[in-house]
Amino acid sequence: MNGAGWTLTILGVIAASAALIAAGLAVGRLGILGGIFGAHLARCFKQIGREFVHFIGAMAVALLLLPIALARMVLLKPAAAREALQSSGRELRNAFIALYALLVVQPLRLLGLRAVLSYIESRLPAAMTGTDATLDHQNGSPRSARAEFVGYTVLRELQRGGSGARLYVCEPDARTRIKIGIADGYVVIKSFDFDDGTRLAEILRESRSLDAARKLGLVLDHDSSERRFHYVMRYYEGLDLGKFTRRLHETAGADGLDRERLVMVTALVRDLVATLRDWHAAGLWHKDVKPENVIVLDGRATLIDLGLVTPLASQMTLTTHGTEYFRDPELVREALRGARVSEVDAARFDIYGAGAVLHFVLEGTFPAHGVLSGFRKPSPESLRWIARRAMADFQRRYGSAEEMLRDLDSAIAGGDPSAVRPADLPSMAQQRADDAQIEHIAAISAAAEAAPLSPPISPPPPPDSRTNERLRIRVTDWWRGTYEMVSVRPLPAAIPAQQKRGIGPPLAVLVAALFALAVIAVIWAWLGASIAT
């Protein structure tokens, strides 16, 4: 074999290796695409099943309410009969909306024809509401133009919450903007209407904390009439933390989130805990802390939903409202005992919810067993410790949201939570300082008769070597020279861009390698023929 033959052999081996590697990458990319398509099918069929269940349930309730209305008419209770008929009509309307979603919306989503679906719903009148409204395929609820609020233009209706109130996205006019103090953006009006089935108890529950909520800027305006009560909040048009986190974990896979995304989601939980600190300082208990009630917008997290907000000084008996998977088991025990809100430190129930949310963003799933829930995906031990302590027994968890906030700031201040040990967190240092202080006081007491001791001056703590940026100080009192440290949060403005991993590059390399092999084979055959002649 001459030099040309060896050269062709080496080139052939290289091209064959490249073809094998490219084929493997292409098969892997096809597997990923198959997984994404399978997940799409699973989501669509899950929605189809849900809409079918909604249709059957709504039709059953609507039919069951008819004999109830007839019985009330026989018993000469026309008001109660009218209420049953109205409820039956609402359930019938919900059944037709579910049927529409089952036969039109979900099949078009399954085929990926969202543009067609949007066009159909922009032209299809909502005859069931008797108005010139359209159906919102994202929320499955009619965009009603029936509601009117002075100073506001109703744009669309959102999906109803658990309280049964109607939620409208509205645009304030110029005079109303001056009144409520916002220069731009939309608002959400939460409306309770007696004619729509709202009960007085629901209105009273929602209105208990309006004054405190207005002082915090959570409620911009409110009004009431003989048949309706509503209040106005700022509208945050972003992803909820649940969807935001699931998307991150879907792209990350089984290896969990990388360092940049861990810092980002922890910073969002930090925003949540800072909001809870302000609410608790104002005497309010949120009572329904969960990822779906946290909106992520422009790299920040905002806590929403005032439906269950309760004053911490309330004399009412504890109730077990809230989402089960993020609800403190201690709240259930205290409610069964008949305790009042003012008799317990209800702010710690919110702290449990914040710890459950932190567990959720680290794992991508809710903590089914509370503090005993394990961590399957890789994550920093310091963040795991913070989540466990927030969900610990009532007396062992964080005493305040401020204490949890300091630990979160410490964990992400240097940009690498994995470099922070649980022992380095401020709450642990404070615990050690308290223990040392107790021992010191005991030593002073024991030696007081022998010789008077002056209290030692503790040296200032060393600077945190993990912090890459210069520390920032804010002066709180110029006369006395007091100051406080201000943490700098390394939070990116948006989700870091994912590296594109399409099937095109591996296929291109595979085709090029196969072409190179073909060329080498032709040259080899030509050389063989030349040598033979």
Q: Which residue has the tokens 């911009």?
A: 220
- Furthest-apart CA pair in the chain: how many Å? 117
Report the alpha-carbon distance of residue 35 to residue 3 in Å, rounded. Answer: 48
As a whole number of angstroms, the distance between CA 207 and CA 306 comes to 10
Q: Measured in whole angstroms, how far is the alpha carbon of residue 465 from the centre of its chain?
A: 32
DSSP code for 340: B
Q: What is the pLDDT of residue 489?
A: 46
Distance CA 516, CA 532 (A): 24
Confidence class of residue 330 from pLDDT cuts 50, 70 and 90? very high
* Residue 203's pLDDT band (cuts 50, 70, 90): low
For 447-455, which contacts have Cβ atoms below 8 Å and span 24 or more sequence positions? none
Indicate if the pLDDT at residue 452 is higher than 90.
no
pLDDT band at 266 (very low <50, low <70, confident <90, very high): very high
pLDDT, one tens digit per residue, over 388-418 is 999 999 999 999 999 999 999 999 998 899 9
Name the DSSP letter for residue 130.
T
Backbone φ, ψ for residue 207 (5° rounding) = -90, -5
Strand order across the 294-297 sheet: 239-240, 294-297, 300-303
Residue 426 CA to residue 409 CA, distance in Å, equals 9
pLDDT above 70: percentage of residues in the chain: 74
Lowest mean pLDDT among 7-21, 117-131, 339-353: 117-131
User: Quick one: pLDDT at residue 349?
Assistant: 94
187-193 and 310-311 strand pairing: unpaired
pLDDT at 407: 95
Cα separation, 350 vs 288, in Å, equals: 8
Q: Does the pLDDT of residue 335 top 60, yes or no?
A: yes
Sequence letter at residue 159: Q
Question: Are the C-beta atoms of 303 and 286 separated by less than 8 Å?
Answer: yes
Residue-averaged pLDDT of the chain? 78
Write down the pLDDT at residue 264.
Answer: 93
pLDDT tens, residue by residue, 468-494 = 444 455 555 555 555 555 544 444 444
pLDDT-based confidence at residue 289 (cuts at 50, 70, 90): very high
Helix (H, G, I), strand (E, B) or coil at 458: coil
Query: Residue 128: what pLDDT?
Result: 41
The percent of residues above 90 in pLDDT, for the chain, comes to 21
pLDDT of residue 113: 76
Q: Alpha-carbon distance 474 to 137, whole Å? A: 49
> Using CA atoms, how far apart are residues 250 and 47, in angstroms rounded to an integer?
19
pLDDT tens across 249-262, in order? Answer: 888 877 788 899 99
- CA separation, residue 523 to residues 12, 13, 136, 487, 517 (Å): 11, 15, 64, 68, 10
| Range with top average pLDDT, 96-105, 117-126, 234-243, 349-358 | 349-358
Q: Which pLDDT belongs to residue 1?
A: 54
